[in-house]
Copies of this chain bind each other. A is one copy, B any other.
Amino acid sequence: MSLKLTILGCHSATPRVNAHPTAQYLEIKNHSFLIDCGEGTQVQLRKYKIKFTKIKHIFISHLHGDHIYGLVGLISTFRLLNRESELNIYAPKGLKEIITLQLRLTNSWTQFPLLFHELTSKKSELIFEDSKVEVHTIPLDHRIYTNGFLFKEKLGERKLNLSSIINEPEIERCDYQNLKNGKDFILNNGTILKNELLTLDPPKPLSYAFCSDTGYYPEIVPIIKEVSCLYHETTFLNDRKELAQTTKHSTAQQAAKIAKLAKVKQLIIGHYSGRYKNIQLFKNEADTVFENTLLAEVGKVFEII
Protein backbone atom coordinates (compact mmCIF):
# COMPACT_ATOMS: atom_id res chain seq x y z
CA MET A 1 0.00 0.00 0.00
CA SER A 2 1.08 3.58 -0.49
CA LEU A 3 -0.10 7.14 -0.29
CA LYS A 4 -0.25 9.04 -3.53
CA LEU A 5 0.46 12.74 -3.63
CA THR A 6 -0.11 14.85 -6.74
CA ILE A 7 1.41 18.32 -6.83
CA LEU A 8 -1.05 20.73 -8.46
CA GLY A 9 0.91 23.85 -7.60
CA CYS A 10 4.13 24.51 -5.71
CA HIS A 11 5.08 28.13 -6.29
CA SER A 12 4.74 30.99 -3.89
CA ALA A 13 2.97 34.33 -4.17
CA THR A 14 1.49 34.96 -7.62
CA PRO A 15 0.33 32.58 -10.35
CA ARG A 16 2.24 32.92 -13.59
CA VAL A 17 2.16 31.15 -16.94
CA ASN A 18 4.23 28.23 -15.69
CA ALA A 19 3.94 28.75 -11.96
CA HIS A 20 0.97 27.59 -9.95
CA PRO A 21 0.26 28.51 -6.33
CA THR A 22 -0.06 25.83 -3.65
CA ALA A 23 -2.48 22.94 -4.08
CA GLN A 24 -1.96 19.24 -3.49
CA TYR A 25 -4.13 16.18 -3.95
CA LEU A 26 -3.56 13.34 -1.48
CA GLU A 27 -4.95 9.83 -1.86
CA ILE A 28 -4.78 7.99 1.46
CA LYS A 29 -6.72 4.78 2.12
CA ASN A 30 -10.24 5.37 0.87
CA HIS A 31 -9.94 9.17 0.87
CA SER A 32 -9.08 11.86 -1.65
CA PHE A 33 -8.06 15.06 0.09
CA LEU A 34 -7.36 18.45 -1.43
CA ILE A 35 -4.79 20.51 0.46
CA ASP A 36 -4.81 24.27 -0.16
CA CYS A 37 -6.39 25.78 -3.23
CA GLY A 38 -4.54 28.62 -4.93
CA GLU A 39 -5.99 30.43 -7.95
CA GLY A 40 -6.38 28.08 -10.92
CA THR A 41 -6.55 24.87 -8.86
CA GLN A 42 -9.74 23.71 -10.58
CA VAL A 43 -8.00 23.90 -13.95
CA GLN A 44 -5.07 21.93 -12.54
CA LEU A 45 -7.46 19.27 -11.26
CA ARG A 46 -8.94 18.99 -14.74
CA LYS A 47 -5.50 18.94 -16.34
CA TYR A 48 -4.40 16.00 -14.21
CA LYS A 49 -7.73 14.24 -14.68
CA ILE A 50 -8.72 14.22 -11.03
CA LYS A 51 -12.42 13.65 -10.59
CA PHE A 52 -14.10 16.51 -8.75
CA THR A 53 -16.60 14.18 -7.12
CA LYS A 54 -13.85 12.30 -5.29
CA ILE A 55 -12.97 15.37 -3.23
CA LYS A 56 -15.05 15.44 -0.08
CA HIS A 57 -12.57 17.12 2.27
CA ILE A 58 -10.48 20.22 1.66
CA PHE A 59 -7.78 21.33 4.11
CA ILE A 60 -6.69 24.95 4.01
CA SER A 61 -3.50 25.98 5.80
CA HIS A 62 -4.07 29.74 5.97
CA LEU A 63 -5.90 32.59 4.33
CA HIS A 64 -3.16 34.11 2.17
CA GLY A 65 -4.34 34.38 -1.41
CA ASP A 66 -1.89 31.93 -2.93
CA HIS A 67 -3.48 29.23 -0.78
CA ILE A 68 -7.18 30.06 -1.12
CA TYR A 69 -8.05 32.18 -4.16
CA GLY A 70 -9.06 29.13 -6.17
CA LEU A 71 -11.50 27.82 -3.58
CA VAL A 72 -14.59 29.92 -4.24
CA GLY A 73 -14.30 29.11 -7.95
CA LEU A 74 -13.98 25.41 -7.24
CA ILE A 75 -17.04 25.48 -4.99
CA SER A 76 -18.98 27.40 -7.67
CA THR A 77 -17.97 24.82 -10.26
CA PHE A 78 -19.10 21.97 -7.99
CA ARG A 79 -22.42 23.81 -7.80
CA LEU A 80 -22.69 24.23 -11.57
CA LEU A 81 -21.91 20.54 -12.02
CA ASN A 82 -24.87 19.69 -9.76
CA ARG A 83 -22.77 18.12 -7.04
CA GLU A 84 -24.88 16.48 -4.37
CA SER A 85 -22.42 15.08 -1.88
CA GLU A 86 -21.23 16.91 1.19
CA LEU A 87 -18.07 19.03 1.05
CA ASN A 88 -16.08 19.57 4.24
CA ILE A 89 -13.65 22.45 4.50
CA TYR A 90 -11.15 22.61 7.36
CA ALA A 91 -9.74 26.12 7.46
CA PRO A 92 -8.88 29.04 9.71
CA LYS A 93 -11.80 31.07 10.95
CA GLY A 94 -12.65 33.69 8.37
CA LEU A 95 -12.79 31.50 5.28
CA LYS A 96 -16.43 30.66 5.85
CA GLU A 97 -17.22 34.39 5.86
CA ILE A 98 -15.24 34.92 2.64
CA ILE A 99 -16.97 32.12 0.79
CA THR A 100 -20.49 32.62 2.07
CA LEU A 101 -20.39 36.37 1.38
CA GLN A 102 -19.66 35.66 -2.27
CA LEU A 103 -22.31 32.97 -2.56
CA ARG A 104 -24.86 35.22 -0.84
CA LEU A 105 -24.20 38.28 -3.00
CA THR A 106 -24.71 36.27 -6.17
CA ASN A 107 -27.63 34.14 -5.01
CA SER A 108 -25.46 31.10 -5.60
CA TRP A 109 -25.98 28.94 -2.54
CA THR A 110 -24.76 25.42 -3.07
CA GLN A 111 -27.35 22.68 -3.41
CA PHE A 112 -24.90 20.30 -1.68
CA PRO A 113 -24.06 20.51 2.04
CA LEU A 114 -21.07 22.83 2.46
CA LEU A 115 -19.63 22.32 5.92
CA PHE A 116 -16.96 24.56 7.36
CA HIS A 117 -14.80 23.33 10.22
CA GLU A 118 -13.27 26.54 11.49
CA LEU A 119 -9.86 26.25 13.08
CA THR A 120 -8.66 28.60 15.80
CA SER A 121 -6.55 26.49 18.16
CA LYS A 122 -2.85 27.14 18.47
CA LYS A 123 -2.27 23.58 19.63
CA SER A 124 -2.23 20.49 17.46
CA GLU A 125 -5.70 18.95 17.35
CA LEU A 126 -7.44 16.01 15.75
CA ILE A 127 -9.75 17.46 13.10
CA PHE A 128 -10.79 14.38 11.13
CA GLU A 129 -11.02 10.72 11.98
CA ASP A 130 -12.61 7.61 10.63
CA SER A 131 -11.78 3.91 10.93
CA LYS A 132 -8.70 4.18 8.71
CA VAL A 133 -7.34 7.70 8.77
CA GLU A 134 -6.70 10.58 11.17
CA VAL A 135 -5.85 14.18 10.38
CA HIS A 136 -4.21 16.47 12.91
CA THR A 137 -3.27 20.12 12.64
CA ILE A 138 0.36 21.19 12.86
CA PRO A 139 0.47 24.76 14.21
CA LEU A 140 3.04 26.70 12.15
CA ASP A 141 4.81 30.03 12.54
CA HIS A 142 3.71 32.38 9.78
CA ARG A 143 2.60 36.00 9.54
CA ILE A 144 -1.03 35.01 10.00
CA TYR A 145 -2.67 32.04 11.73
CA THR A 146 -1.48 28.95 9.86
CA ASN A 147 -1.68 25.19 10.26
CA GLY A 148 0.06 22.37 8.53
CA PHE A 149 -1.73 19.01 8.45
CA LEU A 150 -0.61 15.56 9.50
CA PHE A 151 -2.39 12.78 7.61
CA LYS A 152 -1.96 9.40 9.33
CA GLU A 153 -3.14 5.95 8.45
CA LYS A 154 -4.40 4.06 11.47
CA LEU A 155 -2.78 0.79 12.41
CA GLY A 156 -4.58 -1.83 10.32
CA GLU A 157 -5.73 -5.34 11.23
CA ARG A 158 -3.19 -8.07 11.91
CA LYS A 159 -2.48 -10.27 8.90
CA LEU A 160 -3.22 -14.00 8.99
CA ASN A 161 -0.08 -16.13 9.09
CA LEU A 162 -1.37 -18.76 6.69
CA SER A 163 1.64 -21.04 7.08
CA SER A 164 0.79 -21.45 10.82
CA ILE A 165 -2.98 -21.59 10.43
CA ILE A 166 -2.76 -24.39 7.89
CA ASN A 167 -1.48 -26.64 10.65
CA GLU A 168 -4.49 -25.97 12.88
CA PRO A 169 -7.53 -27.74 11.39
CA GLU A 170 -9.80 -26.45 14.19
CA ILE A 171 -9.37 -22.87 12.92
CA GLU A 172 -12.10 -22.18 10.42
CA ARG A 173 -12.78 -19.29 8.06
CA CYS A 174 -15.31 -17.80 10.50
CA ASP A 175 -12.53 -17.42 13.09
CA TYR A 176 -10.34 -15.29 10.87
CA GLN A 177 -11.77 -11.90 11.85
CA ASN A 178 -11.17 -12.60 15.56
CA LEU A 179 -7.57 -13.47 14.74
CA LYS A 180 -7.15 -10.30 12.66
CA ASN A 181 -8.51 -8.36 15.64
CA GLY A 182 -5.72 -9.82 17.83
CA LYS A 183 -7.60 -12.53 19.76
CA ASP A 184 -5.94 -15.78 20.86
CA PHE A 185 -7.50 -19.11 19.71
CA ILE A 186 -8.63 -21.79 22.19
CA LEU A 187 -8.45 -25.37 20.96
CA ASN A 188 -11.14 -27.89 21.95
CA ASN A 189 -8.70 -29.42 24.42
CA GLY A 190 -8.34 -26.05 26.18
CA THR A 191 -4.92 -25.19 24.79
CA ILE A 192 -4.50 -21.48 24.10
CA LEU A 193 -2.77 -20.59 20.84
CA LYS A 194 -1.33 -17.08 21.25
CA ASN A 195 -2.42 -14.67 18.55
CA GLU A 196 1.15 -13.73 17.58
CA LEU A 197 1.74 -17.34 16.51
CA LEU A 198 -1.17 -17.19 14.09
CA THR A 199 -0.88 -13.67 12.73
CA LEU A 200 1.71 -11.20 11.52
CA ASP A 201 2.07 -7.52 12.39
CA PRO A 202 0.07 -5.25 10.08
CA PRO A 203 2.08 -3.01 7.78
CA LYS A 204 3.41 0.11 9.51
CA PRO A 205 0.92 2.92 8.94
CA LEU A 206 2.05 5.58 6.51
CA SER A 207 1.88 9.26 7.26
CA TYR A 208 2.25 12.54 5.41
CA ALA A 209 2.90 15.94 6.96
CA PHE A 210 2.17 19.08 4.98
CA CYS A 211 3.91 22.21 6.33
CA SER A 212 3.36 25.43 4.40
CA ASP A 213 3.85 28.36 5.08
CA THR A 214 6.18 28.68 8.03
CA GLY A 215 9.39 30.14 9.32
CA TYR A 216 11.93 27.77 10.83
CA TYR A 217 9.95 26.28 13.69
CA PRO A 218 11.42 23.25 15.48
CA GLU A 219 8.34 23.14 17.75
CA ILE A 220 6.68 21.04 15.02
CA VAL A 221 9.28 18.26 15.31
CA PRO A 222 7.45 16.18 17.96
CA ILE A 223 4.25 16.27 15.88
CA ILE A 224 5.86 15.17 12.62
CA LYS A 225 8.34 12.71 14.21
CA GLU A 226 9.28 9.89 11.81
CA VAL A 227 6.55 10.56 9.27
CA SER A 228 6.83 8.67 6.00
CA CYS A 229 6.95 11.92 4.09
CA LEU A 230 7.24 15.57 5.04
CA TYR A 231 6.39 18.40 2.68
CA HIS A 232 8.07 21.52 4.00
CA GLU A 233 8.03 24.88 2.33
CA THR A 234 11.29 26.35 1.03
CA THR A 235 10.43 29.79 -0.27
CA PHE A 236 14.05 30.91 -0.20
CA LEU A 237 17.60 29.68 -0.31
CA ASN A 238 20.09 30.43 2.42
CA ASP A 239 21.23 33.56 0.55
CA ARG A 240 17.98 35.18 1.66
CA LYS A 241 17.86 33.79 5.18
CA GLU A 242 17.05 37.20 6.63
CA LEU A 243 14.21 37.78 4.20
CA ALA A 244 12.91 34.33 5.14
CA GLN A 245 12.97 35.35 8.79
CA THR A 246 11.19 38.66 8.17
CA THR A 247 8.46 37.12 6.02
CA LYS A 248 8.23 33.98 8.17
CA HIS A 249 9.20 31.58 5.45
CA SER A 250 11.90 28.91 5.39
CA THR A 251 15.09 28.29 3.48
CA ALA A 252 15.89 24.91 1.93
CA GLN A 253 18.54 24.40 4.59
CA GLN A 254 16.02 25.03 7.37
CA ALA A 255 13.45 22.66 5.88
CA ALA A 256 16.11 19.97 5.66
CA LYS A 257 17.10 20.64 9.27
CA ILE A 258 13.50 20.07 10.36
CA ALA A 259 13.39 16.83 8.33
CA LYS A 260 16.60 15.67 10.00
CA LEU A 261 15.47 16.59 13.53
CA ALA A 262 12.16 14.78 12.99
CA LYS A 263 13.90 11.77 11.41
CA VAL A 264 11.37 11.69 8.60
CA LYS A 265 11.85 9.14 5.83
CA GLN A 266 11.52 11.53 2.94
CA LEU A 267 11.35 15.29 2.42
CA ILE A 268 9.55 17.05 -0.41
CA ILE A 269 10.23 20.76 -0.80
CA GLY A 270 8.34 23.49 -2.65
CA HIS A 271 6.66 26.93 -2.44
CA TYR A 272 9.58 28.36 -4.38
CA SER A 273 9.94 32.10 -4.71
CA GLY A 274 9.79 33.35 -8.31
CA ARG A 275 13.20 34.95 -7.73
CA TYR A 276 14.90 31.63 -8.38
CA LYS A 277 14.91 30.39 -11.94
CA ASN A 278 16.58 27.05 -11.19
CA ILE A 279 14.78 25.03 -8.54
CA GLN A 280 17.57 22.44 -8.51
CA LEU A 281 19.40 24.91 -6.24
CA PHE A 282 16.81 24.17 -3.53
CA LYS A 283 17.61 20.47 -3.66
CA ASN A 284 21.33 21.09 -3.69
CA GLU A 285 21.03 23.19 -0.53
CA ALA A 286 18.73 20.73 1.25
CA ASP A 287 20.91 17.77 0.29
CA THR A 288 23.77 19.14 2.38
CA VAL A 289 21.64 18.57 5.50
CA PHE A 290 19.16 15.79 4.67
CA GLU A 291 19.92 13.08 2.16
CA ASN A 292 16.44 12.10 0.93
CA THR A 293 15.02 15.32 -0.48
CA LEU A 294 12.78 15.56 -3.52
CA LEU A 295 11.62 18.61 -5.44
CA ALA A 296 7.92 19.33 -5.79
CA GLU A 297 7.09 20.06 -9.40
CA VAL A 298 3.73 20.82 -10.93
CA GLY A 299 2.05 17.63 -12.10
CA LYS A 300 4.52 15.34 -10.31
CA VAL A 301 3.07 12.35 -8.50
CA PHE A 302 4.81 10.96 -5.43
CA GLU A 303 4.14 7.45 -4.19
CA ILE A 304 4.79 7.54 -0.46
CA ILE A 305 5.79 4.11 0.86
Contacts and interface: CB of A to CB of B under 8 A. Distances in A.
A113 to B, nearest CB: 20
B98 A94 contact: no
Given A17-B43, A98-B105, A101-B101, 19 more contacts: A13-B80, A14-B42, A14-B73, A14-B77, A14-B80, A15-B43, A17-B46, A17-B47, A63-B105, A63-B106, A64-B108, A65-B72, A69-B69, A69-B72, A69-B76, A94-B105, A98-B101, A106-B144, A107-B144
A102 B98 contact: yes
Interface string A41-77: 0110011000000000000000111000110110011
Nearest 8 CB-CB pairs, A to B?
Answer: A94-B105, A14-B77, A65-B76, A69-B73, A39-B73, A63-B106, A15-B43, A17-B47
Contacts of A47: 17
* Most-contacted residue by chain B among A13, A43, A97, A143 (CB, 10 A): A43
A70 B40 CA distance: 9
18 contacts: A13-B77, A13-B80, A14-B73, A14-B76, A14-B80, A15-B40, A15-B43, A16-B43, A17-B46, A39-B40, A39-B42, A63-B102, A64-B106, A65-B73, A69-B73, A69-B76, A97-B101, A107-B144
Contacts of A40: 15, 39-40, 43
Number of copies: 2
Interface string A7-37: 0000001111100000000000000000000
Contacts of A105: 63, 94, 97-98
Interface of A: 13-17, 39-40, 42-43, 46-47, 63-65, 69-70, 72-73, 76-77, 80-81, 94, 97-98, 101-102, 105-108, 143-144
A42 B98 CA distance: 21
A17 B49 CA distance: 11
Contacts of A76: 14, 65, 69
Contacts of A14: 42, 73, 76-77, 80-81
Contacts of A108: 64-65
A69 to B, nearest CB: 5
Contact of A15 (B16, B42, B94): B42
A16 B46 contact: yes
A16 B73 CA distance: 11
A63 B101 CA distance: 11
A69 B15 CA distance: 14
Contacts of A98: 98, 101-102, 105
B16 A102 contact: no
A8 to B, nearest CB: 13
A293 B101 CA distance: 38
Contacts of A107: 143-144
B106 A65 contact: yes
Contacts of A16: 43, 46
